[in-house]
Amino acid sequence: MDLFEYQGKEFFAEYGMPVSPGELAFTTEEAVTAAENLGCPVMVKAQVHTGGRGKAGGVKFAASIDEVSEHAENILGLDINGHIVERLWIEKASDIAEEYYASFTLDRSAKKHLGMLSAEGGVEIETVAEENPEAIARIWIDPVEGLSEGNCRNWVKEAALPEQANEGAVEILLKLYEAYVDGDADLVEINPLILTEDGKVHVLDAKVTLDSNSVFRHENYVDFDQTQTRDEREMAAHSKGLQYVGLEGEVGVIANGAGLAMSTVDVVNQVGGRPANFLDIGGGANADVMTAALEVINNDPAVRSIFINIFGGITRGEEIANGIIDALDRVEMRSPIVIRLDGTNADEGRAILEPHLSQTLQVAPTMLDGAEQAVALAKGMNN
Amino acid sequence: MSIFVNSETKVIYQGLTGSQGKYYGLLNRDYGTKVVAGTNPKKAGTDVEGIPIFASVAEAVGETGATASCIFIPAPGVRSAVLEAAQGGVDFIVAITEGVPAHDEALFYNQLRKDFPNVQLLGPNCPGIISPGECNIGITAGHIALPGGPVGIVSRSGTLTYQALHELKEKGIGCTTCVGIGGDPVPGTSFIDCLAAFEADPDTKAVMMIGEIGGSAEEEAAEFISNNMTKPISAYIAGVTAPPGKKMGHAGAIVSGGKGTAKAKMEALEEAGVKVGNNPTEAGDLMAEIVSQL
């Protein structure tokens, strides 16, 4: 789950990190009111789940209320990498002397937490990593041992921040690590972490990704789930508890298991088609989950054919076939369907499907054949 | 022969009294797995269809001599279940449960390395392990695998593993052991652990590897293969066309910051001499070709 900047800052503030006062605004009027409350100058900042806001014109300095109004007008509705700006964060402006970078994330190959700190902040860390890798001080932290103050101090020294920033940086980084672990974050990033003109280290931006698997011990994360960026199809699928990712094509894909679903998307591409989605219905493949899956795909106006790719393991072919037939009774389908059913009792399952087959409900012997048939149907070549 | 588990392996099921644990525990016993005990502190002294329930893993190990444990506990309890199993004295732990927080996984992975270096954890979020004809721990349908070898399988994906077992069986090719390492960010057992074990197993003559997008486990495996493997390998990587920044079902299957793409993984494996298929069927055909030349 990705947090907006303002949510990230609220999260950081709970752990005692210094952030600027600010208010959320959905309209130009609200932005103006927020700026009046805070007092100019302020920053007008687009709240979107993507990077590159500054370059896209989504972050502006406003010296006066008139400027707040002008910037808010321009930024609301702006398209930043496909994300439309619907909310603004109006924040008291800071006097910036220097910009740094700080983050914690999981290093999957080291299987330890990785802290990164750089005196070169304000730009994308990937760019720094590429052009000037020695400018990033890295620390690997054993989750069992945690981050001690001594190790944190050495790490900050290694990053060669100016002397006057060291104390403040150590204090913030220890709190940032606490927020990262305690909050079950996949990523916490401050870019930039700034030194102000009057010598204080301060959090100027917040990028936070939380682990959705940890919701059971963080009840408030349900609120963050509500503000995730999802297209309409993804929203509908999410509300039905389906693992769905919207794609750009015309062939709807349903498969059981994440790997098989991914593989099905690949194969549709390989035979010259374009998948409309990734959809994993899990191992069971019963009528209820199949109905939910078909409904979601049926509601996608781009879909012109559907490929159902099921491998029966513990769940037998008959059960899967009956589930599909049952689901088709419940949903009025707009697009033709190709089914590939393999694995346990696949023959028995295919026999159940047999009497229902037609131009618009076909079976295929293999995954490749199924993908080819579905792609041909989407292109209208079989009609 | 097989790796990690065989016909002698005695297994405890943590969560045997729950619905999933009971369902798969009994299926595993029907397959021939030595399911010797279950644990549940509230139901100690009872049994599940003749399988005795103990209060803790330590007690179950003491009474039965079990050396492996299989965890069917809901995600919030997995962290303590893994540590209980290690402390209880088993040396092989299979955690089936999905949805375990990544911080928990990182924590118990490192805790095991430090305090229980001889314990091998498989999972979480994995289908388990099967040495066909000998032992099946987890949720794999046993009958889709043909016993006897010569192929060892290691995979990050459940259903693609079944697909692989099925395709090999259709071609009359058997499997020594099939290990599902799971799709989470910190898997207890890596590709490399399995490749090393297959290399050392005299009955395994070739290895099939199924990877997916995200992380760099396949690239690390490729490096290990270049330096250490003498046995031929075929591979398939799922997610060639996955869009960046989207989790494809598995918590670990995500391309981020241009890293973890299927293309990079396939190239690394090909450079290491692995025969890489563009889809599971092609990888199966490549394996059949390898087996015919053994």
Q: Please check whether residue B127 lies inside any domain of the structure.
A: no
Q: Based on the domain organization, do B153 and B258 belong to the same domain?
A: yes
Overall number of domains in chain B: 2
A109 contact residues in B (CB cutoff 8 A): 215-217, 220
Candidate CATH numbers 3.30.470.20, 3.30.70.260, 3.30.420.10, 3.40.1350.10; the one for domain A96-225: 3.30.470.20
Cβ–Cβ gap B248/A112 under 8 Å: no
Using one digit for the tens of pLDDT, what is the confidence trace for B226-279?
Answer: 999 999 999 999 999 888 888 888 878 888 777 889 999 999 999 999 999 998
Q: Look up the domain containing B248 and give its range.
A: 145-292
Same domain flag for B21 and B110: yes
Name the residue facing B163 among A247, A260, A280 (closest C-beta).
A260
pLDDT score for A240: 85
**Residues B255, B286: one domain?**
yes
Lowest mean pLDDT among A115-124, A279-288, B169-178, B219-228: A279-288
B153 and B287 belong to one structural domain: yes
Pairs of CB atoms within 8 A across A/B = 163
Mean pLDDT of B79-93: 98
Residues in chain B within 8 Å Cβ distance of A342: 163, 166
CA angle A242, A251, A317 (to 5 degrees): 60
Average of per-residue pLDDT across A14-35: 97
Q: B247 to chain A: nearest residue by CA?
A: A245
For A21-92, give the CATH class.
Answer: alpha beta
Residues of chain B positioned with their CB less than 8 A from the CB of A111: 106, 109-110, 186
- Indicate yes or no: CB of B238 within 8 angstroms of CB of A263: yes
Average pLDDT over residues B166-184: 94
**Which pLDDT band holds residue B287 (cuts at 50, 70, 90)?**
very high
pLDDT at position A323, please? Answer: 87
Partners of residue B212 in chain A, C-beta under 8 Å:
258-259, 262
pLDDT category of residue A381 using cuts at 50, 70 and 90: low
Of A211, A214, A262, nearest to B248 by CB-CB distance is A262
Active site residue B250: yes
**Residues B265 and B211: beta-carbon distance below 8 Å:** yes
| Record: contact B279-A262, CB cut-off 8 A | no
Confidence band of A382 (pLDDT split at 50, 70, 90):
very low
Domain presence at residue B114: yes
Q: Inspect the interface and report whether the beta carbons of B257 and A245 lie closer than 8 Å.
A: no
Comparing A307-321, B141-155, B274-288, the range with the smallest average pLDDT is A307-321
Q: Whole-angstrom Cα distance, residue A330 to residue A348? A: 23
pLDDT digit string (tens) for B33-72? Answer: 999 999 999 999 999 999 999 999 999 999 999 999 999 9
- pLDDT for the residue A383: 44
Best residue in A113, A147, A213 for a mutation probing chain B (most B CBs within 10 Å): A213
Residues B63 and B157 in one domain: no
Report pLDDT digits (tens) over A339-372.
999 988 889 999 999 999 999 999 999 999 999 9
φ/ψ of residue B155, rounded to 5: -150, 145
Question: Average per-residue pLDDT in chain B?
Answer: 95
**Do the chains contact at A108 and B107, CB–CB below 8 Å?**
no
Please check whether residues B249 and B163 belong to one and the same domain: yes
Residue B237, in any domain of the structure: yes
Residues B222 and B152 placed together within one structural domain of the fold: yes
Per-position DSSP letters for A153-210, written without gaps between them: HHHHHHHT--HHHHHHHHHHHHHHHHHHHHTTEEEEEEEEEEEETTS-EEE---EEEE
Instruction: Judge: B216–A344 Cβ closer than 8 Å, yes or no.
Output: no
pLDDT at A235: 85
Task: Indicate which CATH number applies to the domain containing B36.
Answer: 3.40.50.720
* CB within 8 Å: B166 and A343: yes
Q: At what angle do helices A65-75 and A28-38 cross, to 10 degrees?
A: 140
Q: How far is A344 from chain B (nearest CA, A)?
A: 7
| b (16+ CB within 10 A) / e for A267-287 | bbbbbebbbbbbbbbbbebbb
Chain B residue numbers touching A313 (CB-CB < 8 A): 139-141, 144, 159, 162
Domain boundaries defined on chain A? 21-92, 96-225, 232-378
Average model confidence (pLDDT) for chain A? 93
- pLDDT value at A258 more than 50: yes
pLDDT in the model for residue A320: 87
Q: What is the pLDDT of residue A284?
A: 67
CATH number of the structural domain spanning residue B196? 3.40.50.261
Residue of chain B whose alpha carbon sits nearest to that of A124: B257
Same domain, B65 and B175: no
3-state secondary structure chain B: CCCCCCCCCEEEEECCCCHHHHHHHHHHHHHCCEEEEEECCCCCCCEECCEEEECCHHHHHHHHCCCEEEECCCHHHHHHHHHHHHHHCCCEEEECCCCCCHHHHHHHHHHHHHHCCCCEEECCCCCEEEECCCEEEECCCHHHCCECCEEEEEECCHHHHHHHHHHHHHCCCEEEEEEECCCCCCCCCCHHHHHHHHHHCCCCCEEEEEEECCCCHHHHHHHHHHHHCCCCEEEEEECCCCCCCCCCCCCCCCCECCECCHHHHHHHHHHCCCEEECCHHHHHHHHHHHHHCC
What interhelical angle do A232-239 and A287-298 show, nearest 10?
Answer: 170
Closest by CA position to A345, among listed A369, A322, A372: A322
CB contact under 8 A, B248 and A260: no
Closest chain A residue to B211, measured at CA: A259
Answer yes or no: do B209 and B278 share one domain.
yes
Q: Are residues B118 and B241 both part of a single domain?
A: no
A23 is catalytic: no
The class that CATH gives domain A232-378 is: alpha beta
Partners of A293 on chain B (C-beta within 8 Å) are: none
